[in-house]
C-alpha cells in the first residue's frame, strides 16, 4: 500500500471533520514536513505558492460549495439567500485565487425548500467522508482527470457579518424566509429594526413570510 504524507491546514467544523476522516485512513501519515499532499479545510489564510510547492504531488482544498458557483466564505448561507437549488462539496486544487483551482471531485446536494443553514451544513458534512476517501484512494488519478472551472458560471459569496442578518419587513415573503433560514441562530441571529431604532430578535419566519419575534 502506498503511504501518502499529508500536511493539514484546517479550522472550524469542516477542518475538524476532515482531520478525523483523514486520520482514520490507511496509507496516510499526518506530517509537518516534506508532505506529498497539502490538504486544506476552512483555513482562513491564503496558502501562498511557496507553501503549496512544498507538496510533492499537490495542494488541495475541500470547499462547501458547488464550484465554480458559490466561491468564497460562507457559501452555504449565500446559497440559501440566493435561492440556489443546489449546494455541494468540492475538492479542488489550490491556486493563488481562493476556490479557483481545477476540480478533482464534487458532490452536488439538493437544497430542500425548508432547509436551514444547519440542515445544509449537516448534508454537506455527510459528503466529506466519501469524497475524502475517494481522493486518497488514488490522488494521481484525480489529478490527471481534473476539470477546469468555467469562469462564466462563477458566483462569489462574500463574508457575512451580524448586520447581514437584518430582515427587511418590506421584503417579499420568499426573501424573508430565505434570509431567516440562512441566519446562524447562535452566531448571527435574525433580527429586525423597529420604528424606534431598537433591535428585535426574530424567533421564526414562516414560509408565508410571517415574522414571529422572540420575547
Assign residue 12 a region (left: φ > 0; alpha: ψ between -120 and 50; beta: otherwise). left
pLDDT in tens, 35-93: 999 999 999 899 999 999 999 999 999 999 999 999 999 999 999 999 999 999 999 99
Name 210's Cβ contacts closer than 8 Å, sequence gap at least 6: none
Q: What is the mean pLDDT of the chain?
A: 96
CB atoms within 10 A of CB 76: 25
Domain 4-157: CATH architecture, name and number where available: 3-Layer(aba) Sandwich (3.40)
Contact 21, 127 (CB under 8 A): no
Q: Where are the domains of the chain?
A: 4-157, 162-213
Among candidates 150, 12, 158, 193, which has minimal Cα distance to 82? Answer: 158
The runs of H, that is alpha helices, within the chain are 12-23, 49-52, 75-82, 117-137, 139-144, 173-182
Give the predicted TM-score (pTM) of the model.
0.94
pLDDT in tens, 91-136: 999 999 999 999 999 999 999 999 999 999 999 999 999 999 999 9
User: In which band, very low, low, confident or very high, does the pLDDT at 2 lie, cut at 50, 70 and 90?
Assistant: confident
Assess whether pLDDT exceeds 70 at residue 1.
no
Read off the C-alpha cell for 25: 485512513
Amino acid at each position: 500500500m502506498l503511504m501518502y504524507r499529508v500536511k493539514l491546514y484546517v479550522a472550524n467544523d469542516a477542518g475538524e471533520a476532515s482531520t478525523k476522516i483523514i486520520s482514520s485512513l490507511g496509507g496516510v501519515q499526518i506530517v509537518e514536513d516534506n508532505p506529498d499532499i497539502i490538504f486544506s479545510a476552512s483555513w482562513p489564510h491564503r496558502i501562498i505558492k511557496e507553501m503549496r510547492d512544498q507538496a510533492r504531488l499537490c495542494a488541495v482544498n475541500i470547499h462547501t460549495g458547488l464550484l465554480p458557483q458559490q466561491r468564497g466564505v460562507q457559501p452555504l448561507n449565500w446559497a440559501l439567500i440566493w435561492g440556489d437549488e443546489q449546494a455541494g462539496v468540492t475538492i479542488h486544487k489550490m491556486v493563488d485565487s481562493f476556490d479557483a483551482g481545477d476540480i478533482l471531485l464534487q458532490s452536488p446536494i439538493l437544497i430542500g425548500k425548508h432547509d436551514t443553514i444547519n440542515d445544509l451544513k449537516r448534508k454537506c458534512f455527510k459528503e466529506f467522508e466519501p469524497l475524502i476517501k475517494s481522493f486518497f484512494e488514488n490522488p494521481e488519478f484525480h489529478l490527471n482527470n481534473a476539470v477546469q472551472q468555467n469562469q462564466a458560471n462563477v458566483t462569489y459569496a462574500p463574508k457575512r457579518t451580524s448586520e447581514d442578518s437584518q430582515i427587511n419587513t418590506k421584503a417579499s415573503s420568499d426573501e424573508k424566509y430565505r434570509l431567516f433560514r440562512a441566519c446562524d441562530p447562535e452566531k448571527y441571529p435574525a433580527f429586525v429594526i423597529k420604528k424606534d431604532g431598537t433591535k428585535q430578535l426574530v424567533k421564526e419566519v414562516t414560509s408565508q413570510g410571517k415574522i414571529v419575534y422572540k420575547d
